Chain A
Amino acid sequence: MSILVNADTKVVVQGITGSAGSFHAKQCLEYGTNIVAGVTPGKGGQKFEGKVPIFDTVEQAVKATGANASVVFVPPPFAADSIMEAADAKIPLVITITEGIPVNDMVKAKRFLQGGATRLIGPNCPGVITPGGKCKIGIMPGHIHRPGRIGVVSRSGTLTYEAVFQVTGLGMGQSTAVGIGGDPVNGTNFIDVLKLFNDDPETDAVIMIGEIGGSAEEEAAAWVKANFKKPIAGFIAGASAPPGKRMGHAGAIIAGGKGTAAEKVKAMSEAGYVMAQSPSELGTTLVEAMKRKGLKV
């Protein structure tokens, strides 16, 4: 088992003929992901890589192929529309890779999803991968992953890769790695993913990577303290970031004295996370967290 995606996931790629969409769709296919359809308005009827059928609308793609997950590579001005289109087609999981979507567009898209059956991951995220199911939906390098029992959840792409790489290097592997994205408005937060890992019998321990800005890490820490049963290691990026400056990610900004790394590290430590001081120690910190809970490594 795993969370969110597995060998049965049938993926439709929105924006499959664009430069990012086609490049990464190819990489996902090579990894073994079951991509059943692509969508590019105006290119319906064509084939991607000679085998994946392309449709004009998501609704058509779902009807014809039974796709049950979507990945969005559509450029920022049109991405929110694509998310809503996928939700309208009743796709249960929409993973949005696109970086740079206007906040107001996401506020509307998230309102549109409210009360519906669609879960949004991202935007501005690397995606989701379940190595055991050969299912990679996103832009992460597939070859650093190994099937295993460690869950990874992160706001940052490259830091997820760091964590995954070290876990693999220590001879372990990942059940599922989830990037929730670095934007201020996102579909799925830490708590949503931690709940899934908590209930997944094939996840033994979790690494959670946060960054400055907002209060998602503090909220996750409060939830972990009350509910989470498994060993958990953490890291927060941005301890040295100056206030008022946007550190690359739209959501990574210390505003009004809120969202500092110190507050987050404190909340997480008190909630039972074992915290890494540097991303170099993500793997060893995880091992420490597992040992403290009496797990064999």
Chain B
Amino acid sequence: MKIHEYQGKQIFKKYGVPVPRGIVVRTADDAEKAAKELGTKVVVVKAQIHAGGRGKGGGVKIAKSPAEAKDLASKMLGMMLKTIQTGPEGQKVQTLYVEEGLDIDKEYYLGVTLDRATSRITFMASTEGGVEIEEVAHKHPEKILREGVDPAVGFQAYQGRKLAYGLGLSGDSVNAFVKFCAALYKAYVETDAALAEINPLVRLKDGSILALDSKMNFDDNALYRQKDVVEMRDVAEEDEREAKAKEFDLAYIALHGNIGCMVNGAGLAMATMDTIKLVGGEPANFLDVGGGATKEKVTAAFKLILADPAVKVVLVNIFGGIMKCDVIAEGVIAAAREMKLTVPVVVRLEGTNVELGKQLLEKSGLKLIAADNLRQAAEKAVAALKA
């Protein structure tokens, strides 16, 4: 789950991670008021959308007066902000964060996430703050300092000092940075975060260390014990169908093609999309109905797929292991009848009771196209598009 920058900063503040003063606004008038209240020579007006790359997309602007803050806010609110992470249509800006201007001395990058290779929560720090950190990681991996945390003892002060001196910090900034990291680790662990990224982290002219930005993602599997985090969910930022799928416990991701997919198992679902592309088609979605797909789940999945107007063919690919193919066939038939299907459906069934399943599909009288394996199913789906 993702949250907004201002929400991440609320969490930071709660755990003692220093952040600039800021005010959340949803109207241009409130932006003017916020700028006055902050009282600094300049303020920064920041669009709050979940995608990164806001600065380059025109979603972060400096205002030299409250009147300018109002003017900028009126232009930003309601705009479709396009960044490298939003896709071509952009994301509608509905909330702004107005922040105090600061005397910045230097910018850094600090990120915390799981390092899969060591199975440890790992700090990554770099002097190359504010720029494309992914590019730095790719071209100059030596410029990124890393510290893995032993979960048995937590983040240690020496690790903070290693990072601080590695970044070239000195004087009071070293201790400020060590405290910053310790607080950030606590925030990360206690909220079950999956990512806490601060780009940039800044040192001010007075030596203090602040999180100028905040990007936090959370472990979906731990949300059951993170009520405060769940309350920060902004459904307006999420794909409507993906949110709907969650209600039925279906893993669904909307894509841009026209072949709808219903598959059991995440790996097989990905492989189905891959095979569609391989034979010249474009998948409309990723959809894993799970190992224990029931008739109800299959129906819900069909509805989701067909709610996408771009879908012109549906490909059903089920490897019935514990689930029997005849039960799955019944589900497909029931869903097809209930939905009064108008698009062709290619079905590939394999596994337990496959012959029985195929017989049921044949006898149903529905216009289903049978396939024997995945590649053939993908080819038949692409052919059905052209028919």
Residues of A bordering B, CB below 8 Å: 24, 27, 76-77, 100-108, 110-111, 139-141, 143-144, 154-159, 161-162, 165, 182, 184-185, 209, 211-212, 214-216, 219, 235, 237-242, 244-252, 256-257, 261, 277-281
Q: A280 touching B117 by the CB < 8 A rule?
A: no
Q: A277 touching B278 by the CB < 8 A rule?
A: yes
Q: For residue B190, which residue of chain A has the nearest CB?
A: A104
Docked Cα-Cα span, A239 to B133, in Å, equals 24
Assess A77 versus B224: contact at CB under 8 Å? Given A104-B192, A185-B119: yes
Q: A185 touching B268 by the CB < 8 A rule?
A: no
By DSSP majority rule, is chain B's interface helix, strand, loop, or mixed? mixed
A246, A249, A261, A278: the one contacting B267 at CB < 8 Å is A249
With an 8 Å Cβ cutoff, the count of chain B residues facing the other chain is 57
Q: B192 touching A107 by the CB < 8 A rule?
A: no
Does B236 count as interface, using CB distance less than 8 angstroms?
A: no
Interface residues of B in 348-377 (CB under 8 A from A): 350-352, 373-376
B158 CB → nearest A CB, Å: 19
Does B322 count as interface, using CB distance less than 8 angstroms?
A: yes
Residues from chain A with a CB closer than 8 A to the CB of B273 are 240-241
Q: A281 touching B192 by the CB < 8 A rule?
A: no
Does B6 count as interface, using CB distance less than 8 angstroms?
A: no
A145 CB → nearest B CB, Å: 11
Q: List 22 A-B contacts (CB under 8 A).
A: A24-B322, A77-B224, A100-B221, A102-B192, A104-B189, A108-B151, A111-B150, A111-B151, A111-B152, A158-B264, A158-B268, A159-B268, A239-B277, A241-B286, A244-B85, A245-B253, A247-B251, A248-B286, A248-B288, A256-B134, A278-B274, A278-B378
Docked Cα-Cα span, A251 to B121, in Å, equals 15
Assess A211 versus B265: contact at CB under 8 Å? Given A103-B194, A257-B134: no
- Give the interface centre of A185, A245, A278 by most chain B CB atoms within 10 Å: A278
Q: B151 touching A77 by the CB < 8 A rule?
A: no
Q: For residue A107, which residue of chain B has the nearest CB?
A: B151
Residues from chain B with a CB closer than 8 A to the CB of A140 are 321
B122 CB → nearest A CB, Å: 11
Q: B266 touching A215 by the CB < 8 A rule?
A: no
B222, B286, B322, B351: the one contacting A103 at CB < 8 Å is B222
Residues from chain B with a CB closer than 8 A to the CB of A212 are 270
Q: A237 touching B286 by the CB < 8 A rule?
A: no
Does B114 count as interface, using CB distance less than 8 angstroms?
A: yes
Known: A76-B221, A158-B268. 14 other contacts (CB 8 A): A102-B192, A102-B221, A110-B119, A141-B321, A157-B321, A159-B265, A162-B271, A165-B351, A185-B119, A214-B116, A216-B116, A244-B85, A256-B133, A278-B274
Q: A102 touching B321 by the CB < 8 A rule?
A: no
Q: B221 touching A103 by the CB < 8 A rule?
A: yes
Docked Cα-Cα span, A141 to B322, in Å, equals 6
Does B184 count as interface, using CB distance less than 8 angstroms?
A: no
Docked Cα-Cα span, A246 to B98, in Å, equals 32
Q: For residue B219, which residue of chain A has the nearest CB?
A: A103
Docked Cα-Cα span, A108 to B192, in Å, equals 13
